[in-house]
Amino acid sequence: MAVLVGKKAPQFTAQAVVDGEKFVEEFSLDQYLGKKHVVFFFYPKDFTFVCPTELHAFQEKLAEFEKRNTVVVACSTDTEQSHWGWLQMGKNEGGIKGVTYPIVADTNKTISKNYDVLTGDFFYDENDQLQADGELIAYRGLFLIDKEGIVRHQVVNDLPLGRNVDEALRMVDALQFNEVNGEACPANWNSEKDGLQATHEGIADYLSSH
């Protein structure tokens, strides 16, 4: 698994569905450079079980991300038509109707591969035929990208393990706190707590007061 933290987020241009119904031919995260932080997350499949719980959970907290000048963008290896169809289904049917943030269609699987969250692998057999080892879908990867396009945080869950959206928000808060104040965020930090100066004296003072 590649560690992308500290590196430029892999660039891409792909089809996407935005606002729950609109097709975008050439969607790219580059549109946010210099303007917004980005929470870019992958999920395995449309029309499944854990995935809609995550997509709805991000939608329910979308206003909180927007308050932090942060956009949420989802991605899976399904087609844009599959995304659109799922977006038309109500929650009580297992659909994701009401989700408004962009959902990228990584149909050729290059985005998942470049972010190193693609399960399985490609190979050629003895007859020079292209094969795949396992199902080629995305793990539950999440990447927090700053305004300069640098990955500052990543987490990757196995397929059955849903993520905590509040933790994603906490990491946005931590990044922005560090950017504004220059202080580090210790264990279990949240926006109601102090940061610490990354010096021996600063750590000693923090530990002695907590």
Q: How many separate domains does the chain show?
A: 1
**Which one has a higher pLDDT value, 183 or 7?**
7
Range of the domain at 105: 14-163
Task: Tell me: pLDDT of 79 over 50.
Answer: yes
Look up the CATH number of the domain holding residue 61: 3.40.30.10
Residue 200 confidence (pLDDT): 47
Q: Once rounded to an integer, what is the mean pLDDT over residues 31-48? A: 98
Q: How far apart are CA 203 and CA 210, in angstroms?
A: 11
pLDDT per residue as tens digits for the range 151-208: 999 999 999 999 999 999 999 999 999 999 888 888 888 887 878 876 645 554 555 5
Residue 149 confidence (pLDDT): 98
Residue 121 confidence (pLDDT): 81
Q: How far apart are CA 102 and CA 81, in angstroms?
A: 13
pLDDT per residue as tens digits for the range 122-132: 788 888 887 88
Q: How far apart are CA 15 and CA 60, in angstroms?
A: 24
Residue at 56 is within a domain: yes
Task: Tell me: pLDDT of 75 over 50.
Answer: yes
Q: Which of 29, 51, 145, 196 is catalytic?
A: 51
Task: Tell me: pLDDT of 116 over 60.
Answer: yes
pTM of the model: 0.92
Beta bridge partners of 138: 118
Residue at 137 is within a domain: yes
Beta bridge partners of 71: 38
Task: Tell me: pLDDT of 23 over 60.
Answer: yes
Q: How far apart are CA 210 and CA 55, in angstroms?
A: 36
Q: How far apart are CA 175 and CA 182, in angstroms?
A: 10
Q: How far apart are CA 168 and CA 35, in angstroms?
A: 19
- The CA–CA distances, whole Å, from 112 to 52, 95, 154, 168 equal 19, 23, 14, 20
Q: Say if strands 37-42 and 70-76 run parallel, antiparallel, or are unpaired.
A: parallel
Residue at 147 is within a domain: yes
Residue at 185 is within a domain: no
Distance in angstroms between the alpha carbons of the first and the last residue of the chain: 35
Residue 100 confidence (pLDDT): 98
Residue at 171 is within a domain: no
Residue at 184 is within a domain: no
| Dihedral angle of Cα 185, 186, 187, 192, to the nearest 10 degrees | -60
Nearest to 75 by CA among 104, 32, 115: 104
Can you list the positions of beta strands (E) in 34-167? 37-42, 70-76, 103-105, 121-124, 130-133, 140-145, 151-157
Give the model's confidence band at 54: pLDDT under 50 very low, under 70 low, under 90 confident, else very high.
very high
Residue at 129 is within a domain: yes
Nearest to 74 by CA among 143, 174, 147: 143
Annotation says 185 is catalytic: no
Residue 63 confidence (pLDDT): 98
Q: Once rounded to an integer, what is the mean pLDDT over residues 107-115? A: 96
Q: Once rounded to an integer, what is the mean pLDDT over residues 7-35? A: 97
Give the model's confidence band at 46: pLDDT under 50 very low, under 70 low, under 90 confident, else very high.
very high
